Structure formats: C-alpha cells, structure tokens
Structure 1
C-alpha cells in the first residue's frame, strides 16, 4: 500500500512539472513556444503523394519552378526555359524555338509552343515511354529520364541555354519533324548537321565518327557509332560560322548550375554570380554559351557575344564561359513611412481611430488572415506617430494573438487543431497552412504571397519586441515559413532551395505544379516584394544577417525583373504590338495584360502589382514618368476616374506622378471610400501626404545601412533611416551625406552636416576656384584629408559612374578654361564636364605619381550665360580631385599635358587647331569631326615648333571634336578627344 501511494504521488508530481505548452499528440513538432504538425489535420486536403522522380534524385523536390510540371505529371506540360520551349512527351522530347514566332496584341505577348513544330527527339528503339521522371536538378537546369526496360534517354536542359543535352542507352537519337527540314550544313557522313525548320535554325551535334540517315525526309537518325551522347543547339542564324562557334561548346555538357549572392553593406550593392559546371564529352572544352535575360545583361560587365534571341521577356543576349556576375543597387526599405507628411495630424488620428473601431473578421484561410496581419502591421506604426499608443498596442496584440494561434498546432487539451495551424508534408518538403486557399495545399500555390504577410507582420512585432522574436519564443516558427518559401541552405533536408524564387529568371513563380500549356505564372509581383521585404526587416530586427541579406538579394533582383517584365519602364522589352502599359501576369510562354485570375476589371488588373503599398513599396516611385503613363492607361481603360474598387490603392499610386491630383481625389472621395482589404484610409492618407512633403524615392543615392530611403522633391532631398539596432548608428549615404540615428528610432534629415561635404545650392559666380568637396550633390565618392597646398579635404575613391554636381553662375556666354587639381597612382582616370545632358569636354587624368601627388590639368568649354548646374561625370576610375578652377578664355581653347599644349584659336568663321609638343615631334596628325560628320585627317603644318591646321567655314554653335596622333622620341601616341563649340 505504501508503494502504491508513492507511485501515485510520483505520477502526480511528474504531471505537475509538465509545462502548459507541452506537446501532446504524436505528430506535433515543437519549435520554441510554437509547434507545427507532421500529421494532416482532420478533414484537410493534402497535396498529391506521387512525385515523378527517379531513385537517383536527391533532396526535396523543388516546386513553383519553370519546369515543375515534370515532377507532377506522367510526362509534362510545355515548359519555357528561354530561349527554347520544350515538352516531355510519351514519344520523346519536343523542342521548339519561339524566337522568330512571337506575336503580340492588346491581350498578350504570345510565345507559347505550337501544335506541330519544331521537332521531337525520340529513342530509335522505343516508340512509347511509360513516363518521364525528374532525374536531377540544380539551380536553373533539370534532367528528365525516359526509360523503357534497358533503353533510356536522359535529357538535360535549362534556363538561358540554347543547348539540350542527351545521353542514350540501347539506341540512337531519332529526330521527327512535321515536314522535312532544310539541311544547310553537313551531310550523311558528317557528325554535325545544320538544319532549318519553320524558320528556326538548329545545329545537331552527333559524336565524332557518327553518321546520319534520313536526310531529305521527316526523320533524321544519328548513328552514334558506339557512343551515347548527342546535343542540339538553337542557333540565332544559319551561317556556318555561327554553327562553328556553337560547336565549340556542343560537347561541353552542363552538369551543375549554381547561384551565389552577396550584399555589400558599405556600397549597397548586390552581387550575384551564376556558375556552370561542365563535363567535356569530347576534347577538353569547359564552359558553355548562355543567353542572358534583360535584367542580367543590363547589370553585368561580362563580355557579350553578337548573337541574340527574341523571347517573351525581351531580347536575350549571349555570352560564353563558366560564370558571369551581375551587380545591382539595393535601394532600401522602411518598416513604415516616417511621421513627416504634410497631413493634418488630427485627420490622420481620426483614420487610425476608424481602423481601431473596425470589427474585422476575415476569411480564416492563410491568404485573408495574412492580409489582415499586413493591414495591422502598417497601422501600428502610424498609430504610434499620432500618439495613439492604445491603438498601436491593440493592433500589435491582435498580430501576436493571431500568429501565436497559427504557430501552435495543438489545442489546450493537447489535441491537434483542425484549423489555424501549419502542417509539414515530408514527402514534398513543404509547410501548408490550414485552412488553405487558392491551391496552397493541393497544388502548393502562392506560399510566398500568403506567408509573406505572416513574416512581415512578425517583423513588425520583432521591431518593437525582440524578446517575442527569440528562438526560444516564436522566432523559429517565423523562420520555418521563411525556409518554406526561400530556403537558402542547400544542406537543409526539410525544404528545397529557394522554392518560390527563380534565380535565373530573376522573379518568383506562383504555381506549385506549373501544370499549364503556357508554363508557370506569377501575377502579383508586389506581394512577392512584400514577402522579401519581410525577410529583410525580420533579419535586421533579429540580428540575422543571413536572412536579411537573402531578403535583400531577392528584393533587389525581383525589383529589377518587375521594372523590365511587368512594367517595362524603359519600353525596351515588351513586344511593340503589345499595347498595354503593364503586364498583369507573366507566364513562361506569354505576358498577359488584360486580366487577372478572377477579373478583367482594369482597377484590379493594374492594382494587383501594387498591393500592399507599405514602407517597402517605394520602388514603385522610382519611375514617375512610367507611373504617369500607367495611370493614364488605367483611366482610359476604366472610362474615367469613377473607380469601382481599390480607390485607395489607385490614389496612392497616383500620388507618385501627380500628388496634387491624388490629394484632390482623396478629398473628394474619402468619406465614401472603402479601403482594399489589406489597406486602410490611414495608410492611404499617410502615404500620399508623405510623398507630398518629401517627393519620391531617389534610387541614385544609396546608404551603408539597409533600412533607409532618400526622397527627392524638386531637388530637395530628405534622408530617412530607421535604426533597428540597440546602438546609436551613423549612416553614410553615397552622396556623402551622413545621418546619426538613435537606437530603434527614425531619423529624418534634410541635409547640411558640416563634415560630409556638400554646400548649399547658392550658385558660385565665375570666375572662381571651387573646392571639390563643396558639391551640391554627388554619387559614389568619399572625402579624405589632402596634403595638397592649402590642406583641407579632397574628393577621392572615384569610380566609373560616380559624379559631382556644382551650381555656378556664368556672367556671359563664351569659352571658359576648366582646370582640375588631380592626383592618381594609375592612368585609368577620365572625367567629363557636363551641363545638363550635354558633354562639353572629356579630360584624361594622368598618373601623377601617387594619390596625394597633385597636378593641374585643363580643358576648355563653352558655357551659356546664367545660373546652371554642371556635373563632373567619371568615365574612368581611380583618381582624386582637390579643386576645380573655371576662368574665361578670350577666343581660345587650350589643353595642357606633360607631352604638349594644344587647343583652338578662333578668327571669324575659321579656327586654327594647334599643337605645341614639349619635345619636338617629327610629325603631328590631327583628326576632327564637325557636328558628328565624317572624320577628317590631316598632317599638320609645323610653324616654328607649333603644328597648325585651319578649319574654315564654321558657324556659331558648330561642335568640333578633335584629337592628335603625334611622334615623340620614336614611338607614336594618340591624344584624348577634345571638344570645341564655335
């Protein structure tokens, strides 16, 4: 009896020691204070169990990729790696090149695979395969395996590759065409053929020693001669020379692709390297030819080849090698806009009160709950700014309560929840929230859209309550969602790498299965940006640079893709016959502009790529001219400004290009306005009147801390930083400005720090010597102490693309001598003197012997009378400038270097170009153009050591560009180009 009593007391004691949040049901997996389920919730629908993969496949299967339908189907739907389109079929692998067949209209840019062309690569001994399976995949390539008994065909293909690689067992490649192709290179006895079918050109690369049969028919067979490899390349033209270039890499099979990114906080640059691993089937050639999308070739210094392809994304340019790197500017995000608007603070507080009084019960699924969380996350900081801490706390408490509910898989009794929980499907390696919606469970759609709202709301909590975000509390559950949509760790055995983001295409995909004839698709690019901003803010708030930098990479890359492929802000990529101002949705095989999944209503067709508009949406303001065009198109399509839905979002967008019109629209309609579900009147009013006060974000100025924005209104800049750290932080901007920010606070600065260079905008009257550090604006340079005469500071660290602006007042129109005080340890420097968009002179910076070894060089420019801004634009690199002196010249233009003094003297309608060598020259030739006309070349006349050439018949305003070829002690030298305007 005593033993039984003791046992009873022991059991009771053990139960008393179990914490209240213990994990009871067998499938519950704890993470900090939260948990997820490995057991499907009662009544829930799961994703299909069948994955079409071979036993060779390692790791979790990627979904939401351009090729994903291969893993979901017996064969596959069409897929669009670009420039090619392909399909895994029962009888083999179909290849189609849409490059010369893309059309467009008001609805779409159309580049999908057609019904019959171009050809199918089959196995000579297999008429029908039971299925095609994923055999291997990497970052943007995939291999499919067709197998029937001992016969097989493995096919490897990928983004940007004009090549498709084949390996055969038990037979030969047999190419089936709808009509007989034209053979324009090779013959039956050669291993390589060049063919054209339906206007598309291909090279067919058999192994050395192989032969062909069937030439002249609709079926070509390559007899492999005992080997097992074969490749096809889509060619940009049908010249033998092009074929030979592509042959160079035809047997260098791509076996792995890998993307690596880095964020340089000091320069705010995102560098992305795309690498190829290849295996030579013949010879020793490594590397490959690859085609770059516009967002890639615009941002790389990698040498390009002359070959291009058309695609539904625009022109793809080619390059060769084993890797290439892009460099993009990260333009910053904010947790919210600051309290710096021109609004009536009492009105803003009223709109906060209205939001606080709402009884909002959204649909219980992940999307609509996410939208509610996003709305609350924008309201909370606005409530703080109007001093309504009660409302701010209410908004944040609702966020916490909702998140903690979803982040706990069991109820108080320890049973699995039937809803408001996350379930982990181990087969596919994914987390599914229940209730699901829009195919997030069955098709694994839209996880980045839905979970992005959860993550960004959690980041708002982490901003003010870092304890809540600890791993021991709720942080691990937030990061579970991050890993689901954008797992960065290739060694993570729970999730595939970067599920929702396509590193080569530069944007995310929404469909989990991509089971469409047009390939995968992505509609709301802005909701993807919302997710990536959430990663940035969460990472910075929790001091996790890995997640922060991942978010910066995703945000920056997708921003560039949006500007190219959705908005086409520079009108370079959309087909000229596509008449829409924006793409509402992009697919692998087309670009759509006239509808979204649920409607053709213009407000939603446009607005789906704006929402949610938050402090992380300032990228929308970078191109106000495009915004004006897009808004006007919306008004035209809608038949006026009597909008039915999403008025709040439309007015916020309108503020980017015409803030006064936006304010008028708000004032006329706000009382009857119903905000979009994820937005509020308070956020609308706050955004519009902040842009009214500060202008749009200026992407030309970056910072060495990621939580920032620079606004520019008619040249007046406002620097905004939110410091998420616990220490005071000094943030330096690329124009030299600095802002010091207290911990966990905003700082709003309008300029004027005494130590960071720059001056006020009052113009300097000429003649004058201007200290280089007294710029009115700049990009990319830094200041340093100088040892030059007079001491003080000089401008240094000058790189290509950097610039300095100065405001000057020119007393009279005429020729002025510009002298630069420069120092450099290299000969790489070059600087342009610009007025507006006009380049007036270009000067080469000599190697002066060191970074503080100073020398004066000069050039002449023609300036018009009046106040103006001049720009010194670096077109070379590695030089310093201490001062600039601008003085009038009477009738001459002169340039001095260590080798010569040269210039122009004027007399009526004639000029005399002269050249005075420091060391006597045996000859001097002058080359010149007038107003860009044909180049003239003359041996100059030696006039007592000064070489001269007269140019006659000039009129006022004529522009003469001239340069010299001169002899000096034997060798011949070329001078820089100089410019003179009559």
Structure 2
C-alpha cells in the first residue's frame, strides 16, 4: 500500500537528531535482506530565513529508514530560494522508496530580521587519562606534545559530528581560502584567492622530464596558470571562507567579509560535476575575470555559437573562448623543453533568464576584454562549466540548471558471491522550474569500467584519464573480493628448507632486542617501530607453521612489548601512547613523525601496522584480545569507522569514496591538492582492519574493510599503474609503469625521499605480504604485473640495488624460479631492513609452491574466516584458510556453476586445502 505523507504527518513524525546517529554499541544491520522502508521524516516544515543568509534545502531534513539510514539524498527537489531577495519561495520534494511515495511542497520566506548565527561545539570531556580494558590513552592535549590546529573555518552547527580530514577539500578547514591550494573536483580545479574563486580546466597537462642527481624522473601535470576568477564585488580583499556543509563527495563554501555574516557568495563544489554552482546575495555583483598571460585573445559567443561583437549581451548563457591558451611544452628525455603548446579553452556560464553580461577589460596590459560583469536576471544562481568546443554548449546548457545538495556513496556486500556493490547517489535539484534535465556526472575510469551504465559521448581528458559523462544522478559499480590473508601457510617445494628458515628466525630473535635502544623496536615513532612490528608478526605465523613454539613465544612477547606500550598511557613522562583529540574526533600518537599529530597525516598507513600486529596477537594469544580489544578499536576506528555522522569518529577518515582511494595528508595543503604515495600501505591498512574484524566477529567493520580494500585496489590499478594503458599521457606511460605519487592534479615518477626507481616502484610494494598478490588476480593481470616489473628492471639495468625483500617478493608472484635462483640472504641482511629475511625467504617459497592467484572460485564471505585461492603449474587449486574463531567453522567454495567444495576448519587455525 502506498503511503502519502502530508505536512501534518511530517510534523508529527519529527524525531530527535541523535536518533539518526549510528551507535556501534547498538548497531542495526544495514546489510540485512529486510526491504528498506521509511520510519520517520522531519525537517520539511515551512520556514523563515533572514535575507542575505544562505538556505540549504536539505538542512535539517531527515528521512530515517528501518535500517537507521538517513536517505534525504534520495529527494528530488524542484525550485530555488533566492536568499538575497525578500519574498516567498516554493520548493517541491519528491521521493519513491519501495512502495512509499512522498510529494511535499514547502514555503521558504526570506524576510528582514536579526540573524542568529548557527551554534554548536564539539562534545568534550575533562582532559586526562581514559582507560579501556588493560589499555589507556590521553584525551585532550598536553603542551609538551604536538597537536593539530583546530578546525576553525567550519560552521558551528557542523561540529556535532567528527570533523573530516585527509580529503580533497579539507585544506578549507584549517586556513582561510584553504591556503589558496588546489581543490580538484575532476574535471575542474578550484581555489580561493583575493581575486575570488579560481575556476580552471587543467585538462591532462603535459609531461616534463628531469634528472635528479643523474637519475631520470618525470611528472604529468598542467601548467600553473589559473584560467579565471569569479567574485562578488561586495567581497573585500581578505574576505573569509567557511565550510557550511559537506557530504561524501561535495562541499559548500560561504564567502563572507570579516565581521560580516552576509553570505555574499556560496559555492557548491562536487566531485564528478562538470559545473561549479555559485549563489550570490547581490545579483548585480558578479564579476568573472580571465587570466591575462599565456593566451592571445578572448572571444564571446551566445548559446547558438554566434560571436558576440557588442559590449553587452542579454540572455541566459554565454560562452567565453580563451584563444590559444598556453597548455604545456614539447618535451623529451632527459630534460629537454622545446616549444610551447597551445589549445583553445571554452567556459560556459549558465545564468538566470534576462541576465545582462557586460564585456569589458580588467586592467589588461593590451586592453583586451577579459572580464564579464553580470547582472543576474530572474534569480541569484549561476553554473559554470568547462567545455571542449562550442558544439557542446547546448548540451551542457540544458543540464546546467540541475545541481546536487547532497551526495551519498554507500556499499553493500553480496556475501554469497563475494562482491562489493557500491551505489553512488547524488541528490538532484532542478532549480529552474522550466528545466527538468538530469544531473550530469563525469565518471572516472574506476567507475565506468565496473558499472553497467550507458554513458553519453561527452568526455573530459584529465590527468586521471578520460572522464565519461553520465546523464543520471546515480549508478552502481560491482567489484569482486577474491580474499586476502595475513600471511602464507608453510611452503612445501623441494627448494625450501625448514632448517634454513629456522636459522633465519633465530637470527631475527637475536637482532630484535628489546634492550637495544637503537633498534626499530625502540624507535621513537610508530612507523619506524613497524619495521620490527611487521617482521615479528610474520615470524609468529611462520613459527607456528613450523611448530617452533619456543620461538613463537619469544616473538609474541616482543611484539606485545612494543604494541602494549602504544596502547597504554602511564603519565606525562611516557613517550609512547595515544591521544584522542575531540576537536577533530581523531586518534594519533605522542610522536609526530610524518606529521601524524600536527597535520593528521598518514593515519591509515601507520595505524595499519599496529592493527595488523594486533590481529596476529588476537590469533595466537587470546588473552591479548580479551585485554586490549577496546583500545585497538579506538585506533582502528580512527581510519576505518564504518558508520556515518557519528560524534566520536569520522566515517572512513582517510578514504575518498568518489576518487576510490586514500589520501595521505591530513589537510591537503598543497598547490596540487592532496596526495598519496604508498598505495600498498593503504591496502595493508584495510587488510589489517579486515583481520581484526574477523578476530572480534565484527561484521560491520569486516564489510567496511572489504569495501575499502577492493575499491582502493581498483583505483591503484587505474591511477598508479594504468593497467589498461589508457589513462596516462603516452609521453609518461611509454617510459615508466608506475606513478610514485598521485596528487589531486598531477602524478609524479618520484617519491618524497628520492628518485631511485627501486623506491618509486617499491613504495607501492611494501610491506611484503600476501595481500600484494591482489595485484595479479587473473592471467591478464599476471602478465601486466610481470611487464611492470620488467620495466622496473630495465630502469635499473636489470639489477635490483636495494629493498631486496620487497622487490623479490613482487617478482616471485610472476617468476618465482628466477627469484629462488637469485636469492641471497646477505643482500637482505645488509639492506635497509634486515629483519625481513625470514619472511622474505618464506613468502618467496610459498609463491613458488602455490603458483598464481585463482579467481574463478571463491569462498563466500564468512564472519571469522578468510581465504585466498591459488592454482599451481599442474592445475591444482589450493585455498589457504585463516580461521580467527576459536570454534571450528564450516566453509564453502563456489564457482559460476555453484558449490564446488565444502569442508570444516579447526578453530584458531591457518591451513591449506586442496579443493579440486
């Protein structure tokens, strides 16, 4: 039976906002098979707002379902509120969910009055030590330690939930204008400056080559030329920017004068949108100014492509052509820079009807007309899009009056088929009542390659590859989860020697000495501790597989020594403990290496090592799980919290759900936006969280880890390795097979710490672990990884020079015979990380026995069991199975035809099973 909800019913169903928050102490299962239905609606009442102050049509609007989700993003809204003009405005909200339909109209009155600024603050407790089981941490700040700046440039009413960091726009939270750093929405680059909001179409840039200490390197990037600036003439120099709203893939930024609450401009920036949407308080105040250098001229056209020759034009759209815009250089190795290259650029401005555009000069050195002054006609909103040619103008104009006020990226796990289904849903608002065209989304390669959608013929070329336009506000992707493990079971090939391996383990036990103040185990920072933590964790698995219980006990004790130190606060003289910062809702360390405290950087990387070790201890020392589970969750939830809109933790803090990958820096305060260097450490953090979730039988965190792992993996293959050879400029991809660093607006063949190809490739291949075999899940990927490694070797004259453990393991995935033949323990012992000898030897021989990943058979997703499948050279298919439960578990394997094998595995076991 359909349910029609009118305003009286809506008011009666108002609920407290706190009921909308997901509480991990009492979670509802959002992935159950029960159909989703509406339980309550609030926030659709008529409303008065004060003139000059922005109105968000979804502010305080909530639709809570039986799965405890707020699905207000499903609303289709028609109409617009001109917050700068007194009057009454009508908005219509429609939604269909299952058999329920909503069609509701509300009136927003813009009136004179005294404005009351939003209020709110972060919830706090008294600073001091907090205990969780055997663990403890410090909540608040201590002056002797580094801490992040508070998020000062955000509206107070947004402080009731944890504050995002490590995002594409989070520079806006910590500095005015976001430090004028680049904000990349793909396809656009945006920033805030004294001249207003920069709007640039960076396109795909060009490739430049350098030699750094006689080592070749390169980057693909656009020139640092800013195409245009949009500003209200009512804004002063030094105006203020403030984040007034955000969602999974969008942010709203108000531009206000100091000591003036008027929203002179409000900009809505959305990932994947070809437009930026701008609303103003004064319809006659907009100026749009174009750069004066690096181009020949400016031409202005109407929507039909006719050249405008007069200085004034009245209509609802205008196109600006930047004639012969400087776009790059002809370059070639080793570092030759030739002639400049040029391309025409076009910007489409969609405005209200009866808008007057005045074409003038803004102090251009040659008097060229590089400015549009706009007197908006029937409303106060414009959209601006970069287009490739005049012939595209009508298409982008038709869709230029459809925007989004809320974006939602949500996942479900098909446990039976081990698939991750991700739904991208952008709320749609048609703010021009005469225009009902669909929202446009510029899908990235990792979207459209895994989505069953009919994209249009319209595209953008960017440093991320070709973006394809979808005329729909939602789509789904499907990615397979092929399993991941914390390590390998015991190798059984003829070249493998138990005796040799035990000698390596004994050497490791001697080398990692808790009394050695210079060793990694006693390093001041957690990242450097990980150079002992990770080998110790692997050594526990290996010792257990060998039946070397005495060694296993030694390794467990040493691992607990360093892990439990981080999980315990013992007073201000303590130098290893955790802080919980309630201003952000984040957990970090007493140590500030790599800016983990002062800049909230590298959280998932660093936490991942400690969470991984915790999952190993949970398997082999159950008392650790009993004693430290809560404090481990405190650290894990900092980067892998699976619930949205919570006051204590931010949802998947380091992960960008639209871009599909982690960002490393906490703020992203760089000219080219945020960045990510070590993709493998990002993957390892999901692997760590997954196995901790198995140990604790936490299905919500398990599913979050699966989603993060497969999504990040798909993005890595696209943007760091370009598996299909379609994303990078050939001038880049013809020379190298990796991007050492991916930024919002470029990618580098480099690292933070050097241009050695071993570092550039190797930083994507550490720590050494089974999860890295996911780079080659099928025959095609197996060949691609082999080709990538060949390109690396060619750059090194066929000689690995360092990081032997990492490089040999990657090579063993595709050519274990060569690795075993070349294996030399002394090279690892004399390398940067000698503690990796035993795990390197063990894993290389495991790959030699197992063969390669097998993707045509899978285990359905289990609550506490993980598995990966391999096929050796004789066609035998093996599953390695990790059972984190203390009970025996029945498991099943399937292929496209159905069930192929079932068995039972013992509790707390790690075993190998032949399934064919």
Shorter-chain TM-score bucket reads 0.7 to 0.9
1:867 match? none
The one-character-per-residue Cα deviations of 1:844-889 (angstroms, maximum 9, x if unpaired) are xxxxxxxxxxxxxxxxxxxxxxxxxxxxxxxxxxxxxxxxxxxxxx
Matches within 5 A, 1:687-766: 687-705=843-861, 707-714=866-873, 715-725=875-885, 726-734=887-895, 736-740=899-903, 741-752=905-916
Quote how far apart the aligned CAs of 1:111 are. 3.0
Quote how far apart the aligned CAs of 1:310 are. 1.0
Matches of 2:142 and 2:152 in 1, distance apart? 22
Q: Say if 2:255 is the partner of 1:146.
A: yes
Q: How many residues align?
A: 717
Matches of 2:714 and 2:831 in 1, distance apart? 29
1:53 match? 154
Q: Say if 2:784 is the partner of 1:631.
A: no
Q: Say if 2:200 is the partner of 1:96.
A: yes
The one-character-per-residue Cα deviations of 1:663-704 (angstroms, maximum 9, x if unpaired) are 1111x4547634653852111111111111111212343221
2:387 match? 235
Matches of 1:397 and 1:520 in 2, distance apart? 39
Matches of 2:607 and 2:270 in 1, distance apart? 28
Quote how far apart the aligned CAs of 1:730 are. 2.3
Matches of 1:494 and 1:100 in 2, distance apart? 39
SS at match of 1:209: strand
**Structure 1 residues 477 and 112, CA gap change in structure 2 (3 angstroms):** farther
2:659 match? 505
Quote how far apart the aligned CAs of 1:345 are. 1.5
Matches of 1:248 and 1:627 in 2, distance apart? 44
| Contact 2:151/2:584 (<8 A) preserved | no
2:224 match? 114
1:345 equivalent among 498, 522, 527: 498
**Structure 1 residues 598 and 733, CA gap change in structure 2 (3 angstroms):** same
The one-character-per-residue Cα deviations of 1:367-401 (angstroms, maximum 9, x if unpaired) are 11233222211110101111111111221222223
2:278 match? 166
SS at match of 2:693: helix
Quote how far apart the aligned CAs of 1:542 are. 0.9
Matches within 5 A, 1:803-842: none
| Contact 1:612/1:679 (<8 A) preserved | no
1:369 match? 529
Matches of 2:256 and 2:127 in 1, distance apart? 40
| Contact 2:675/2:741 (<8 A) preserved | yes
Matches of 2:221 and 2:806 in 1, distance apart? 32
| Contact 1:185/1:195 (<8 A) preserved | no
Quote how far apart the aligned CAs of 1:621 are. 3.5
**Structure 1 residues 478 and 509, CA gap change in structure 2 (3 angstroms):** same
Aligned residues: CA RMSD: 2.2
1:288 equivalent among 414, 417, 439: 439
| Contact 1:205/1:250 (<8 A) preserved | yes
| Contact 1:85/1:112 (<8 A) preserved | no
Q: Say if 2:365 is the partner of 1:263.
A: no
Matches of 1:749 and 1:446 in 2, distance apart? 37
Quote how far apart the aligned CAs of 1:427 are. 1.6
**Structure 1 residues 104 and 299, CA gap change in structure 2 (3 angstroms):** farther
The one-character-per-residue Cα deviations of 1:331-385 (angstroms, maximum 9, x if unpaired) are 1011211113421121122211111222343212121123322221111010111
Quote how far apart the aligned CAs of 1:113 are. 5.6
SS at match of 1:174: strand
1:81 match? 185
**Structure 1 residues 678 and 439, CA gap change in structure 2 (3 angstroms):** farther
Matches of 1:190 and 1:684 in 2, distance apart? 68
| Range with greater deviation from structure 2 (65-74 or 521-530) | 65-74
**Structure 1 residues 355 and 178, CA gap change in structure 2 (3 angstroms):** same
Matches of 1:57 and 1:40 in 2, distance apart? 22
In structure 1, the gaps of 5 or more residues are 1-23, 753-982
| Contact 2:404/2:427 (<8 A) preserved | yes
Matches within 5 A, 1:168-317: 168-170=280-282, 171-179=284-292, 181-186=298-303, 188-197=313-322, 198=325, 199-214=344-359, 217-225=369-377, 227-239=379-391, 242-283=392-433, 285=436, 287-317=438-468
Which structure has the greater CA radius of gyration?
1
| Contact 2:267/2:276 (<8 A) preserved | yes
1:400 match? 560
Relative contact order (alpha carbons < 8 A, sep ≥ 6): 1 or 2 greater?
A: 2
In structure 2, the gaps of 5 or more residues are 1-124, 210-215, 326-343, 361-367, 514-518
1:437 equivalent among 593, 604, 625: 593
Matches of 1:423 and 1:685 in 2, distance apart? 38
Matches of 1:513 and 1:335 in 2, distance apart? 31
1:561 match? 715
**Structure 1 residues 460 and 678, CA gap change in structure 2 (3 angstroms):** farther
1:955 match? none
The one-character-per-residue Cα deviations of 1:199-258 (angstroms, maximum 9, x if unpaired) are 22222011122221116821112211352211112224321xx32322333222210111
The one-character-per-residue Cα deviations of 1:18-57 (angstroms, maximum 9, x if unpaired) are xxxxxx9951122222221124345212212352223353
**Structure 1 residues 103 and 223, CA gap change in structure 2 (3 angstroms):** farther
2:3 match? none
Matches of 1:134 and 1:568 in 2, distance apart? 34
Matches of 2:555 and 2:126 in 1, distance apart? 32
